[in-house]
Amino acid sequence: MREFFGIGGYTREPQGAYSWQHLTFVGFLIISMFVGAILSGILLRKSEMKVKNRVLIICAISINAVELVKIIAALINSDDIWHTILHLLPLFLCSIQLITIPLAAFTKGRIKEACLDFVLIFGLLGGILGTVGAAQNYNAYPVLSIDNVASGITHTISGFASIYIASSGMVSLKKRSIGIAYAILSTFVALALLVNLTSGSTNYMFLMSHDGTPYSILYNMVGGNRIIYPILVILIFVVYIIIFYLIAMLVRHIKAKKQAEKS
């Protein structure tokens, strides 16, 4: 247990990104994520919203409980509490789910709809990129360590919530929710930029560098330009949201057209 929580520092060497240990671990998480979310969604699809919402409540409690354990372990092992806290803020794109999943579970009305949309749009992306794509984590820590296990579980919960929202029929993707979704994203992007620029040591939302993530494609494409690179990263977020809503609108239009033809 001391070794798992890294008390006194890990004595094991990291197995490395895309090692068989890394891929086996995240493969198990991803399979569990898809199977569990799809089966739960199908099982509860015809249930009342109150019943469907219970799964999201469990997700909201679980993701924050695991993250809390990770934070406590990090603080116990830290030689510099302030530095540790500075690097544990929920300002990564995936970390936003620590807040949006509870909002989706416990709020009502337009806020709930917008948060459901936000979790749907970014949850699965985080579930994949935060496990398979988290090369930097598996180069830095052993696979079976609190850092990687907690990160893997929280990202998997985000992906689970995203797939469950879609498979259970909780998704709305209404046009009126776009503004709230962008407000959520803009708030966190602004905070991430502020912390990155003032601290000089953080890289929230990977706006400063790619850190071994798939963002390396953009980073290398612009030669690491410190102005163009973060702008492109933010634009990807913006376009990604637009694509989801456009697809939803197109599907609704096709359905309405078919119904009109039948009548």
User: 127 is written with which tokens?
Assistant: 């579930």
Residues 6+ apart with CB under 8 A from 134: 151, 155, 213
Q: Give residue 81's pLDDT.
A: 92
User: Which H helix or E strand runs over 108?
Assistant: none
- 20's CB contacts (< 8 A; 6+ apart) are none
Question: Which of 171-175, 181-185, 194-198 shows the lowest mean pLDDT across its residues?
Answer: 171-175
The proportion of the chain whose per-residue pLDDT surpasses 70, expressed as a percent, equals 100
* 28-87 per-position pLDDT tens digit: 999 999 999 999 999 999 999 999 999 999 999 999 999 999 999 999 988 899 999 999
The two structure tokens encoding residue 188: 């966190």
In whole angstroms, give the CA distance from residue 97 to residue 126: 9
CA–CA separation, 176 and 163 (whole Å): 22
141-160 as b/e, with b when 16 or more CB fall inside 10 Å? bbbebbbbbbbbbbbbbbbb
pTM over 0.85? The answer is yes
- What sign does the dihedral 52-54-58-63 (CA atoms) show? positive
> CA 5 → CA 80, 141, 142, 146, 153, distances in Å?
17, 11, 11, 5, 15
Q: What are phi and psi of 44, to 5 degrees?
A: -105, 5
* pLDDT given for residue 171 in this prediction: 85
Region of residue 69 (phi > 0: left; psi between -120 and 50: alpha; otherwise: beta): alpha
- Give the max Cα distance, the chain: 71
Q: Which pLDDT value is given to residue 9? A: 83
